[in-house]
Chains A and B, each alone.
Chain A
Amino acid sequence: MKFTYALLLALVVGCASEIQRTPTQFKASTDAAMFLLASDVTVKPTLGYPARLRGGSTWVHVGQVPEGPVYAIKDDVFMVRGRNAHEAQCVISDGGKLIGFFLPVERAFVPVDPQVQLHIDRK
């Protein structure tokens, strides 16, 4: 009986969902505007695991999707995880609110719920 419970637990733990995403159109930018994230932020993509944006990290404007401006982390890596892991960039409104993530390989948008106001220092 105990073995059955352990097996069921293992199955549940192992069956993570893939993050929910929708195809989007990316247009690259060359203005290289940057900002510094003032403090740690943890956000949750739809159906995925929570993702942590490190305080002190620098983000560079790399382009635009219909959902908003896209920023990539500088000299570091950032990814979101569901069943699989994906390199990701942040979609942040002009007011500094994190709207979601852009997956450059999949060319897809992943919304975050709820959206999060970031404390940023523009450079």
Chain B
Amino acid sequence: MSASKRLFALAVVVVLAGCAAEGPLHKDISASIPAVPAGKGRVYFYRTNTMFGGAITSDITMNGRVVGRSVRGSFFYVDENPGDCKASASTEVEREVSFTLSPGETKYIRSTVSMGALVGRVNLELVSPGDATSQMAQLHYTGTPLTVR
């Protein structure tokens, strides 16, 4: 393989893999995460540490406002008023998930990357609490800084 081909292959790997998130691990800070405020619901957003499409990122909006970013290997949460909710992410197309949120309830949304025409697409899906908490243990927190307890 020529040097130029090796360089191209390396570039492809870098683009596909991207950079993982930085921040404390969920398992190290879970005790510092405050309880859901009274009258609110909580939504966790996370993305597992998979290589495919790792360089693809997207803002995540919830009910029309940007609340964070989909980054490989990261999670954050948002406390929201109960009711109908819509979360979305967009690259070349916008993908949305709609769900209801009750007071005191916690929901989990996982973002994944799928193949697109020109760039990868970031998809959002609801995940059961059991699956989500086990998948988030090794992910990095990218939300607002927490007060260590």
A residues near B (Cβ < 8 Å) are 7, 10-11, 13-14, 75-77, 79, 81, 83-87, 103-106
User: Contact: B100 with A105, CB < 8 Å?
Assistant: yes
**B117 smallest CB distance to A (angstroms):** 5
**A31 smallest CB distance to B (angstroms):** 19
Which residues of A are found within 8 Å of B40, using beta-carbon distances?
Answer: none
Q: Could you list 30 examples of A-B contacts with CB < 8 Å?
A: A10-B116, A11-B117, A13-B114, A14-B93, A14-B116, A75-B129, A76-B129, A77-B108, A77-B127, A77-B128, A79-B125, A84-B96, A84-B97, A84-B98, A85-B97, A85-B98, A85-B123, A85-B124, A85-B125, A85-B126, A86-B98, A86-B99, A87-B100, A87-B126, A103-B98, A104-B84, A105-B86, A105-B98, A105-B99, A105-B100
User: Contact: A86 with B97, CB < 8 Å?
Assistant: yes
The complex places the Cα of A46 from the Cα of B28 at a distance, in Å, of: 44
Band of interface residues on B: 20 to 34
Q: How many A-B residue pairs have CB under 8 A?
A: 58
Which residues of B are found within 8 Å of A105, using beta-carbon distances?
Answer: 84-86, 98-100
Which residues of B are found within 8 Å of A14, using beta-carbon distances?
Answer: 93, 114-117, 121
Nearest 10 CB-CB pairs, A to B?
Answer: A87-B99, A105-B98, A85-B97, A77-B126, A84-B96, A105-B84, A11-B117, A76-B128, A10-B117, A86-B98
User: Contact: B98 with A87, CB < 8 Å?
Assistant: yes
The complex places the Cα of A77 from the Cα of B85 at a distance, in Å, of: 15
**A39 smallest CB distance to B (angstroms):** 19
Q: Which residue of B lies closest to A11 (CB)?
A: B117
User: Contact: A13 with B115, CB < 8 Å?
Assistant: yes
The complex places the Cα of A32 from the Cα of B129 at a distance, in Å, of: 22
Task: Encode contact with A along B109-149: 1 for CB under 8 Å, 0 otherwise.
Answer: 00000111100010111111100000000000000000000
Q: Which residue of B lies closest to A72 (CB)?
A: B100
Q: Determine if B95 is an interface residue (Cβ-Cβ < 8 Å).
A: yes
Which residues of B are found within 8 Å of A76, using beta-carbon distances?
Answer: 128-129
**B85 smallest CB distance to A (angstroms):** 7
**B58 smallest CB distance to A (angstroms):** 15
User: Contact: B100 with A104, CB < 8 Å?
Assistant: yes
Which residues of B are found within 8 Å of A11, using beta-carbon distances?
Answer: 117
**A55 smallest CB distance to B (angstroms):** 15
User: Contact: B124 with A77, CB < 8 Å?
Assistant: no
